[in-house]
Protein backbone atom coordinates (compact mmCIF):
# COMPACT_ATOMS: atom_id res chain seq x y z
CA UNK A 1 0.00 0.00 0.00
CA UNK A 2 1.38 3.40 -0.99
CA UNK A 3 1.10 6.32 1.40
CA UNK A 4 1.12 9.96 0.22
CA UNK A 5 4.24 10.72 2.23
CA UNK A 6 6.02 7.38 1.93
CA UNK A 7 9.22 9.01 0.64
CA UNK A 8 9.35 11.81 3.20
CA UNK A 9 10.37 11.80 6.83
CA UNK A 10 7.91 12.09 9.70
CA UNK A 11 8.87 15.69 10.51
CA UNK A 12 7.87 16.86 7.04
CA UNK A 13 4.60 14.96 7.25
CA UNK A 14 3.75 16.52 10.60
CA UNK A 15 4.67 19.98 9.33
CA UNK A 16 2.40 19.61 6.31
CA UNK A 17 -0.42 18.32 8.50
CA UNK A 18 -0.14 21.33 10.79
CA UNK A 19 -0.20 23.70 7.84
CA UNK A 20 -3.28 22.03 6.41
CA UNK A 21 -5.02 22.12 9.80
CA UNK A 22 -4.23 25.82 10.22
CA UNK A 23 -5.60 26.59 6.75
CA UNK A 24 -8.83 24.65 7.38
CA UNK A 25 -9.24 26.40 10.73
CA UNK A 26 -8.69 29.78 9.07
CA UNK A 27 -11.27 28.92 6.41
CA UNK A 28 -13.86 27.95 9.04
CA UNK A 29 -13.31 31.14 11.03
CA UNK A 30 -13.12 33.46 8.04
CA UNK A 31 -16.05 35.87 7.70
CA UNK A 32 -17.69 34.42 10.79
CA UNK A 33 -18.49 36.13 14.08
CA UNK A 34 -16.72 34.81 17.15
CA UNK A 35 -18.79 33.52 20.06
CA UNK A 36 -17.98 36.80 21.83
CA UNK A 37 -19.44 38.78 18.93
CA UNK A 38 -22.49 36.52 18.99
CA UNK A 39 -23.32 37.76 22.48
CA UNK A 40 -24.97 40.86 21.03
CA UNK A 41 -27.52 38.64 19.28
CA UNK A 42 -28.79 37.56 22.68
CA UNK A 43 -28.65 40.87 24.54
CA UNK A 44 -32.27 40.28 25.61
CA UNK A 45 -31.08 37.51 27.97
CA UNK A 46 -30.12 38.87 31.38
CA UNK A 47 -28.56 35.59 32.52
CA UNK A 48 -24.91 36.07 31.54
CA UNK A 49 -23.98 32.40 31.92
CA UNK A 50 -26.87 31.28 29.72
CA UNK A 51 -26.22 34.02 27.17
CA UNK A 52 -22.54 33.07 26.90
CA UNK A 53 -23.36 29.40 26.54
CA UNK A 54 -25.90 29.98 23.77
CA UNK A 55 -23.43 32.23 21.93
CA UNK A 56 -20.82 29.45 22.08
CA UNK A 57 -23.29 26.84 20.85
CA UNK A 58 -24.19 29.06 17.89
CA UNK A 59 -20.50 29.53 17.09
CA UNK A 60 -19.98 25.75 17.07
CA UNK A 61 -22.94 25.25 14.73
CA UNK A 62 -21.62 27.88 12.31
CA UNK A 63 -18.06 26.51 12.53
CA UNK A 64 -19.18 23.04 11.51
CA UNK A 65 -21.22 24.51 8.70
CA UNK A 66 -18.03 26.10 7.35
CA UNK A 67 -16.15 22.83 7.90
CA UNK A 68 -18.79 21.13 5.79
CA UNK A 69 -18.01 23.53 2.93
CA UNK A 70 -14.26 23.16 3.43
CA UNK A 71 -14.53 19.46 2.64
CA UNK A 72 -17.19 19.84 -0.04
CA UNK A 73 -14.74 18.81 -2.82
CA UNK A 74 -14.11 15.43 -1.16
CA UNK A 75 -17.45 14.74 0.57
CA UNK A 76 -20.70 13.75 -1.09
CA UNK A 77 -24.23 13.40 0.27
CA UNK A 78 -23.52 9.81 1.35
CA UNK A 79 -20.32 10.66 3.24
CA UNK A 80 -20.34 9.64 6.89
CA UNK A 81 -18.23 12.69 7.67
CA UNK A 82 -20.86 14.99 6.16
CA UNK A 83 -23.56 13.26 8.18
CA UNK A 84 -21.58 14.03 11.34
CA UNK A 85 -21.39 17.74 10.50
CA UNK A 86 -25.09 17.93 9.68
CA UNK A 87 -26.07 16.03 12.80
CA UNK A 88 -24.11 18.33 15.08
CA UNK A 89 -25.67 21.44 13.53
CA UNK A 90 -29.21 20.12 14.02
CA UNK A 91 -28.43 19.20 17.63
CA UNK A 92 -26.98 22.67 18.26
CA UNK A 93 -29.91 24.59 16.80
CA UNK A 94 -32.45 22.38 18.56
CA UNK A 95 -30.72 23.06 21.88
CA UNK A 96 -30.53 26.82 21.23
CA UNK A 97 -34.25 27.04 20.43
CA UNK A 98 -35.19 25.11 23.56
CA UNK A 99 -32.91 27.11 25.87
CA UNK A 100 -34.31 30.46 24.72
CA UNK A 101 -37.93 29.28 24.83
CA UNK A 102 -37.47 27.97 28.38
CA UNK A 103 -35.86 31.27 29.36
CA UNK A 104 -38.93 33.23 28.25
CA UNK A 105 -41.36 30.77 29.81
CA UNK A 106 -39.59 31.27 33.13
CA UNK A 107 -39.91 35.02 32.64
CA UNK A 108 -43.65 34.52 32.10
CA UNK A 109 -44.11 31.85 34.76
CA UNK A 110 -47.36 33.42 36.00
CA UNK A 111 -48.87 33.76 32.53
CA UNK A 112 -52.04 31.71 32.12
CA UNK A 113 -50.49 29.86 29.15
CA UNK A 114 -47.57 28.66 31.27
CA UNK A 115 -49.73 27.92 34.31
CA UNK A 116 -52.09 25.77 32.25
CA UNK A 117 -49.22 23.80 30.73
CA UNK A 118 -47.39 23.20 34.00
CA UNK A 119 -50.44 22.49 36.17
CA UNK A 120 -50.22 18.99 37.57
CA UNK A 121 -52.84 17.46 39.90
CA UNK A 122 -51.38 15.82 42.98
CA UNK A 123 -53.33 13.37 45.13
CA UNK A 124 -52.38 13.17 48.80
CA UNK A 125 -53.44 10.18 50.87
CA UNK A 126 -55.64 11.29 53.75
CA UNK A 127 -54.64 9.39 56.86
CA UNK A 128 -57.51 8.64 59.22
CA UNK A 129 -60.20 9.57 56.70
CA UNK A 130 -61.97 6.27 57.41
CA UNK A 131 -62.88 4.80 60.75
CA UNK A 132 -60.43 2.32 62.22
CA UNK A 133 -60.85 -1.11 60.67
CA UNK A 134 -62.84 0.23 57.72
CA UNK A 135 -61.40 -0.16 54.22
CA UNK A 136 -62.57 0.25 50.63
CA UNK A 137 -61.79 -2.42 48.08
CA UNK A 138 -62.69 -3.25 44.52
CA UNK A 139 -62.08 -6.14 42.18
CA UNK A 140 -60.10 -5.47 39.03
CA UNK A 141 -62.26 -6.45 36.05
CA UNK A 142 -59.37 -7.84 34.01
CA UNK A 143 -57.17 -9.57 36.57
CA UNK A 144 -59.85 -10.35 39.14
CA UNK A 145 -57.52 -9.23 41.92
CA UNK A 146 -58.85 -7.34 44.92
CA UNK A 147 -57.37 -3.85 45.20
CA UNK A 148 -57.49 -1.45 48.12
CA UNK A 149 -58.73 2.09 47.50
CA UNK A 150 -57.76 5.11 49.58
CA UNK A 151 -59.33 8.51 50.09
CA UNK A 152 -57.10 11.26 48.75
CA UNK A 153 -57.15 15.02 48.66
CA UNK A 154 -56.53 16.67 45.31
CA UNK A 155 -53.93 19.41 45.29
CA UNK A 156 -52.88 21.54 42.34
CA UNK A 157 -49.13 21.77 41.87
CA UNK A 158 -46.94 23.06 39.06
CA UNK A 159 -44.01 21.28 37.47
CA UNK A 160 -40.90 22.99 36.14
CA UNK A 161 -41.20 24.31 32.60
CA UNK A 162 -38.13 22.24 31.68
CA UNK A 163 -40.25 19.10 32.16
CA UNK A 164 -42.76 20.12 29.50
CA UNK A 165 -42.57 18.45 26.12
CA UNK A 166 -41.05 20.68 23.46
CA UNK A 167 -44.40 20.94 21.70
CA UNK A 168 -46.01 22.19 24.92
CA UNK A 169 -43.24 24.75 25.42
CA UNK A 170 -43.73 26.06 21.90
CA UNK A 171 -47.52 26.18 22.26
CA UNK A 172 -47.15 28.29 25.40
CA UNK A 173 -44.70 30.58 23.59
CA UNK A 174 -47.25 31.10 20.80
CA UNK A 175 -50.04 31.86 23.30
CA UNK A 176 -47.85 34.43 25.05
CA UNK A 177 -47.00 36.01 21.71
CA UNK A 178 -43.27 35.30 21.67
CA UNK A 179 -43.30 33.41 18.36
CA UNK A 180 -45.72 32.78 15.51
CA UNK A 181 -47.48 29.51 14.85
CA UNK A 182 -45.44 29.04 11.67
CA UNK A 183 -42.16 29.41 13.53
CA UNK A 184 -43.45 26.99 16.15
CA UNK A 185 -43.99 24.37 13.44
CA UNK A 186 -40.54 24.97 11.94
CA UNK A 187 -38.79 24.69 15.30
CA UNK A 188 -40.76 21.58 16.21
CA UNK A 189 -39.73 19.91 12.95
CA UNK A 190 -36.07 20.71 13.67
CA UNK A 191 -36.38 19.50 17.27
CA UNK A 192 -38.05 16.26 16.20
CA UNK A 193 -35.31 15.77 13.64
CA UNK A 194 -32.78 16.35 16.40
CA UNK A 195 -34.34 13.59 18.51
CA UNK A 196 -34.61 11.32 15.49
CA UNK A 197 -30.87 11.33 14.80
CA UNK A 198 -30.13 9.38 17.98
CA UNK A 199 -28.67 6.08 16.91
CA UNK A 200 -31.56 3.73 17.69
CA UNK A 201 -34.24 6.01 16.23
CA UNK A 202 -32.11 6.83 13.21
CA UNK A 203 -31.60 3.13 12.48
CA UNK A 204 -35.25 2.25 13.01
CA UNK A 205 -36.67 5.16 11.03
CA UNK A 206 -33.87 5.29 8.45
CA UNK A 207 -33.29 8.98 9.10
CA UNK A 208 -30.92 10.61 6.63
CA UNK A 209 -29.96 14.22 7.19
CA UNK A 210 -29.58 16.56 4.25
CA UNK A 211 -27.87 19.90 3.82
CA UNK A 212 -31.29 21.52 3.35
CA UNK A 213 -32.22 20.51 6.90
CA UNK A 214 -29.38 22.65 8.24
CA UNK A 215 -30.17 25.50 5.88
CA UNK A 216 -33.73 25.46 7.18
CA UNK A 217 -32.51 25.44 10.80
CA UNK A 218 -30.28 28.44 10.09
CA UNK A 219 -33.04 30.48 8.42
CA UNK A 220 -35.53 29.52 11.15
CA UNK A 221 -33.03 30.74 13.75
CA UNK A 222 -33.01 34.24 12.25
CA UNK A 223 -36.80 34.32 11.93
CA UNK A 224 -36.97 33.19 15.55
CA UNK A 225 -34.72 36.05 16.69
CA UNK A 226 -36.70 38.58 14.66
CA UNK A 227 -39.97 37.50 16.24
CA UNK A 228 -38.43 37.72 19.72
CA UNK A 229 -37.32 41.28 18.96
CA UNK A 230 -40.84 42.19 17.87
CA UNK A 231 -42.30 40.57 20.98
CA UNK A 232 -39.95 42.52 23.23
CA UNK A 233 -40.63 45.73 21.33
CA UNK A 234 -44.38 45.54 21.86
CA UNK A 235 -44.52 43.79 25.21
CA UNK A 236 -44.79 45.74 28.41
CA UNK A 237 -41.50 46.91 29.82
CA UNK A 238 -41.00 47.36 33.60
CA UNK A 239 -41.12 51.13 33.07
CA UNK A 240 -44.45 50.84 31.27
CA UNK A 241 -45.85 48.70 34.07
CA UNK A 242 -44.76 51.22 36.69
CA UNK A 243 -46.37 54.02 34.71
CA UNK A 244 -49.58 52.02 34.38
CA UNK A 245 -49.66 51.37 38.12
CA UNK A 246 -49.07 55.07 38.81
CA UNK A 247 -51.93 56.14 36.53
CA UNK A 248 -54.22 53.48 38.01
CA UNK A 249 -53.39 54.61 41.54
CA UNK A 250 -54.04 58.28 40.73
CA UNK A 251 -57.31 57.35 39.03
CA UNK A 252 -58.52 55.37 42.05
CA UNK A 253 -57.59 58.24 44.36
CA UNK A 254 -59.61 60.63 42.21
CA UNK A 255 -62.65 58.35 42.22
CA UNK A 256 -62.41 57.88 46.00
CA UNK A 257 -62.19 61.64 46.41
CA UNK A 258 -65.33 62.13 44.32
CA UNK A 259 -67.17 59.43 46.27
CA UNK A 260 -66.29 61.14 49.53
CA UNK A 261 -67.94 64.26 48.15
CA UNK A 262 -71.13 62.22 47.56
CA UNK A 263 -70.79 62.40 43.79
CA UNK A 264 -72.94 59.67 42.22
CA UNK A 265 -71.62 57.11 39.74
CA UNK A 266 -73.68 58.65 36.95
CA UNK A 267 -72.08 62.03 37.64
CA UNK A 268 -68.63 60.44 37.72
CA UNK A 269 -69.46 58.81 34.38
CA UNK A 270 -70.03 62.28 32.94
CA UNK A 271 -66.66 63.43 34.29
CA UNK A 272 -64.82 60.21 33.39
CA UNK A 273 -66.39 58.59 30.30
CA UNK A 274 -66.24 54.81 30.49
CA UNK A 275 -66.00 54.78 34.29
CA UNK A 276 -68.81 52.23 34.68
CA UNK A 277 -66.99 49.75 32.42
CA UNK A 278 -63.68 50.03 34.27
Classify residue 101: in a domain, yes or no. yes
pLDDT at 277: 38
Same domain for 104 and 192, yes or no, is: yes
- pLDDT by residue (tens digit) across 163-172? 999 999 999 9
Same domain for 216 and 268, yes or no, is: no
Average pLDDT value for residue range 105-114 = 90
pLDDT at 5: 46
Q: Which residues pair with 136 in a beta bridge?
A: 149
Which spans in the chain are helix H? 10-29, 48-70, 80-107, 112-118, 166-176, 181-196, 199-205, 211-234, 238-260, 265-271
Same domain for 112 and 250, yes or no, is: no
Of residues 190, 185, 184, 182, the one with CA closest to residue 210: 190
Contact indicator for 194, 228 with CB cutoff of 8 Å: no
Same domain for 97 and 57, yes or no, is: yes
Average pLDDT value for residue range 9-16 = 57
Average the pLDDT over each of 40-54, 155-169, 250-264 and give the range with the smallest value: 250-264
pLDDT at 1: 41
Mean pLDDT of the chain: 80
Same domain for 213 and 262, yes or no, is: no
Classify residue 130: in a domain, yes or no. no
Please give the residue range of the domain that contains residue 217: 12-119+160-235
Average pLDDT value for residue range 160-184 = 94
Q: Which of 31-40, 219-228, 243-252 has the highest mean pLDDT?
A: 219-228
- pLDDT by residue (tens digit) across 48-103? 999 999 999 999 999 988 888 888 877 777 777 888 889 999 999 999 999 999 99
Q: Given a cut of 50, is residue 278 above it in pLDDT?
A: no
Q: How many domains does the chain have?
A: 2
Classify residue 1: in a domain, yes or no. no
Same domain for 61 and 39, yes or no, is: yes
Q: Given a cut of 80, is residue 207 above it in pLDDT?
A: no
Of residues 217, 177, 175, the one with CA closest to residue 88: 217
Same domain for 164 and 273, yes or no, is: no
Amino acid sequence: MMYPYSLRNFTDIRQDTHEQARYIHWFCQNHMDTHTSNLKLFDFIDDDALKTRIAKELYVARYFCKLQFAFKPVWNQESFELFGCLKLQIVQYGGIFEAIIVYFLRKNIDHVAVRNKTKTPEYIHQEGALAKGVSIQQQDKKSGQIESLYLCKKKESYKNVELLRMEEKLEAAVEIGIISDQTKKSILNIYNLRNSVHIQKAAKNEIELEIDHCKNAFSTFWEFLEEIRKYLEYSETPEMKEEEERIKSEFEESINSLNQKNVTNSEIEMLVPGFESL
